[in-house]
Structure 1
Amino acid sequence: MPEVSARRSRAEPSPSRILALALPALGVLAAEPLYLLFDIAVVGRLGALPLAGLAVGGLILAQVSTQLTFLSYGTTARAARMHGSGDEAGAVREGVQATYLAVGIGLAIIAAIQVLAVPVTSLIAGGGDIAAEALTWLRIAVFGAPLILVAMAGNGWMRGVQNTVRPLRFVLVGLGLSAVLCPVLVHGLLGAPRWELAGSAIANVAGQAVTAVCFVVALLRQARSAGPPVSLRPDSAVMRAQVVLGRDLILRSLAFQACFLSAAAVAARFGAAAVAAHQVVLQLWNLVALTLDSLAIAAQTLVGAALGAGSATQAKGLARRLTEWSTVFAVALASAFALGHTVIPALFTDDAAVIDQIDVIWWFFVAIMPVAGVVFALDGVLLGAGDAPFLRNATLGCAIVGFLPLIWLSLVQDWGLAGIWSGLTVFMVLRMLAVVWRVASGRWAVTGADIQAGR
């Protein structure tokens, strides 16, 4: 009994503890889309066609990597349960095995993309000059896939043991290098060759390599210092358990992929200005989503630890508190973007046609932010609880009913970007209704160190 009480006490978070987890996580989550926006601004000075190529190529690579978010979110959920139960070596072991998975899957992605790059870029961009630009970028940038996945695995186990500061440092070092190299290689500054869109891809891979090395070194040191030391050998049983949890998260990610790939494909058929505008606002949306996700990561980490320590009541209290905080934060963000609607788009392009298309979808973007505040917080709660089957079913259902029909109707009925972003709005509202109902039911709050217990 004293041991259980100690675990529960250790899992009880104060507001300062929540912020100590959320703020560095915010830095990690916001750093990548901020860099991508910087990348867009650098490439955007080359014109609408290279920007459209970056949009298509970047979307393909992003969708491939985000399909594998179980390496981050699944690892966090499993490591947080073990951390909450007092098994620190077990939490680090999750990181070791997730890293093995990351390297293996990443190498497979490189091979697949190199083989399929031409038909995939042509399918999404509709062929022509946009597809050619996207192909140039993608063939280089895909070599960063294993590096991105290693960083995901590293973020996952570190969040699980409630260390969000070191991942922030690692990510900033890598992105800092990319930010220096990007304008130099794209525009040929400081005597460097002018590689244009290819320079953007090379800068990305260089920064990703630095970040991945930082995570691997940290994992090796933690494995040696754990008591007892953690084996560095591949463990098929642990990897199999991670893949079982990942299966539902992958299917959930596939729903997102189908929606956003369809949206990009339809936007591309409305012309270069439309797809460029869609990419700018989509990257801003990704920035907002990942910013809100910082509180979702705190929810995932703390809820997992509370359930691992045996306290369902504490987990439910965390769900309520973090949803309130996330909603208030989302409203503040929506207000800031509403006030900046005439200024922010001009930071990324001076092409009048692109600006006109951005104006069409800006208010959809603003309106869905408060809804996202609720959705992402409760997603984090359910991910921390290991309630992946429900999240899979809810996301698939909302995509099939809400988002996909409006995307393709936009093409058939010539609704343009307004139709596509109407679909995203309906999708978010349906997801909000689903996760609110699930959390209110209480059926997700299953205690114990084993994330599969009771499922």
Structure 2
Amino acid sequence: MVRGRLSGVAQRDTRETAGASRSREILRLAVPAFLALVAEPLFLLADSAIVGHLGTSALAGLGVASAVLLTAVNIFIFLAYGTTAVVARRLGAGDERGAVSAGIDGVWLALMLGAVGAIVTAVLAQPLVQLFGASDAVVAEAVTYLRWSALGIPSMLVVLAATGVLRGLQDTRTPLVASVVGFTGNAALSLLLVHGVGWGIAGAAIGTVIAQTGMALGLVLVVVRGARRLGSSLTFHGAGVLRAARGGIPLLVRTIALRAALLLTTWSAAGLGDEQLAAHQVALTVWSTLAFALDALAIAAQALTGKTLGASDVEGTRAATAVMVRWSVWFGVILAVLIVALHRVIPLGFSQDPDVRSALAAALLVVAVGQPIAGIAFILDGVLIGAGDTRWLAWAQVAATVAYLPMVLAVRLSGAEGTAGLVWLWIAFTGFMTVRSVLMWLRARGDAWMVVGAER
């Protein structure tokens, strides 16, 4: 009996030790990822604050242009997410050289897609902006910002790919350094070029392009050094790039469906008037900033899930997932409390228009309520991406967007105006995030997504 008790105590101590080690590993990856991800949307927050003092039309124009630009870039988020999962799996299986080689293929793919994306965005800037139905003054500002920003798309995609490589190698510190340096440079350049030199909204775009290019060069240099140390090839390999492209298709579908939901939200906001569109732009930027904060655990989930499944550790994968879901929900609660406390303070930094401030304050309350729900969606999205369960994710995201369509159309066609219309729009968007969370939770409860080995 004594021996049985001792054995039970030993097993409990082992589990507690494993749990503590798992928590430290999550924090080691998540804390730098959190700081880096928060820094990324600060590019847009800095532009919003600086451009906001040019007037309501400029701020609203930034909102429309940003919606198009972020769509043009973020539909290729698989360059980061897919690369993280592939590199982490191979690392977990003990093939570090193969992991880096797969990452290099992703960087080459990013350069190719970035060049095409820049040309298409610049050429189609006017018709893309006009789809939102904004006023002529807003359209003019948006087109100017979008055409200049298009020059930075190749660098933005390279940043995604190189960051994915480093995350897969369990390094989230280097992307943090790049983000902090890039954000600081972007804020200084935008302020100088917009108000110092007097280039207006074009100055904000040019400042961001310069900062993103510097980030891309720095991250690529780190990846190249690692490749040379391991003897990995840096040359272009068509078969590897094609494999990376094929593997990214499901995530591309998932991201297009997600961006479609965000674009539908901005389209609906444009029908509420310039003041409400300007308020929505800031509210969406705040939501995006919070999303990046919540996504820090999802980044850790991608890297850890890929590594543990690559090492065939199913039990460790399940345990880490449970811990991260709990943490993400509580983190969402903390963010909600913070936004509620600051919902009347935040608008003061973005506009001098009292109508914009009033609408934004009301919308931020809805943004706050949705944070715990968003936490579930983001963390499980990261887990399933890390597991390579991308085909299911693609169809689930399409289903969520289809479910959102009648919600957002109801707001646009209801005739709701002013602050009330914007509040109802954000309530509908929270409904969309609820659908996403439920679908992810149902999938994570099963075992079909937990495929082990170096290859999915």
Q: TM-score range by the shorter chain?
A: over 0.9
Match of 1:60 in 2: 68
The answer to whether the 8 A contact 1:49-1:129 is kept is: yes
What does 1:429-448 correspond to in 2, within 5 Å?
Answer: 429-448=434-453
**Consecutive unaligned residues in structure 1, runs of 5 or more:** 1-8
Indicate yes or no: 2:193 matched with 1:185.
yes
Cross-structure match for 1:30: 38
Aligned 1:28-107 pairs, distance under 5 A:
28-107=36-115
Tell whether the 8 Å contact from 2:312 to 2:453 is kept in structure 1 after alignment: yes
Report the counterpart of residue 218 of structure 2 in structure 1: 214
Aligned partner of 2:317: which letter?
A
Instruction: Supply the distance in 2 between the matched residues of 1:210 and 1:126 (Cα, whole angstroms).
Output: 33
Give the secondary structure class of the aligned counterpart of 2:204.
Answer: helix
Deviations along 1:207-234, one digit per CA (max 9) or x if unpaired, are 01110000111121111101xx111122
Paired AA for residue 208 in structure 1: Q
Count of matched residue positions in the alignment of Structure 1 and Structure 2 = 436
Name the structure 2 match of 1:204: 208
**Is 2:129 the partner of 1:121?**
yes
Match for 2:229: what amino acid? S
Counterparts of 1:14-413 in structure 2, within 5 Å, are 14-126=22-134, 128-188=136-196, 193-226=197-230, 229-401=231-403, 403-413=404-414
Shift of 1:127: 5.1
Kindly state the Cα deviation for residue 353 of structure 1 after the two structures are TM-superposed: 1.0
1:362: how far off?
Answer: 2.2
Q: Is the 8 A contact 2:265 2:429 kept in 1?
A: no
Contact 1:56 1:125 survives alignment (8 Å): no
TM-score when scaled to structure 2?
0.93
- 1:270 to partner: Cα distance: 1.6
RMSD of equivalent CA atoms: 1.6
- Counterpart in 2 of 1:6? none
State the distance in 1 between where 2:256 and 2:133 align: 20
Counterpart amino acid of residue 442 in structure 1: D
**Displacement of 1:11:** 13
Distance 2:20 2:229 in 1: 26
Secondary structure of 1:71 counterpart = helix
Which range is displaced more, 259-268 or 42-51?
259-268
> CA offset at residue 13 of structure 1?
4.8
Per-residue CA distance 1:89-134 (angstroms, 9 max, x = gap): 1111122111111111011011111221111111124351111110
Moved more, 30-39 or 282-291: 30-39
Give the distance between the partners of 2:274 and 2:22, measured in 1 at CA: 49
CA distance in 1, matches of 2:24, 2:365: 34
How far the C-alpha of 1:367 sits from its partner, in A, is 1.0
Whole-angstrom distance in 2 between the partners of 1:311 and 1:14: 13
Q: Answer yes or no: is 1:422 the counterpart of 2:423.
A: no
Which residues of structure 2 form unaligned runs of 5+? 1-16
| Amino acid across the alignment from 1:281 | A
Name whichever of 69-78 and 28-37 sits farther off.
28-37
Provide, for residues 175-202 of structure 1, a one-character-per-residue CA deviation record: whole Å limited to 9, x for no partner. 22111111111112xxxx2101011001
SS at 2:449 equivalent: coil
The alpha carbon displacement at 1:422 in A equals 2.1
**Counterpart amino acid of residue 91 in structure 1:** A
CA contact (8 A) 1:72 1:152 kept: yes
Secondary structure of the 1:231 match is: coil
Q: Distance in 2 between matches of 1:339 and 1:374?
A: 23
- 1:5 aligns with none
The 8 Å contact of residues 95 and 156 in structure 1, kept in 2 or not, is answered as yes
Contact 1:11 1:302 in 2 (8 A): no
Q: Please report the TM-score for the alignment, with normalisation by the length of structure 1.
A: 0.93
Contact 1:37 1:348 in 2 (8 A): no
Matched residues, percent identical?
Answer: 37
Shift of 1:419: 3.0
Q: Report SS of the residue matched to 2:124.
A: helix
Q: Equivalents in 2 of 1:41, 1:372: separation in Å?
A: 25
Displacement of 1:12 in angstroms is 10
User: Structure 1 residue 269: deviation in Å?
Assistant: 2.0
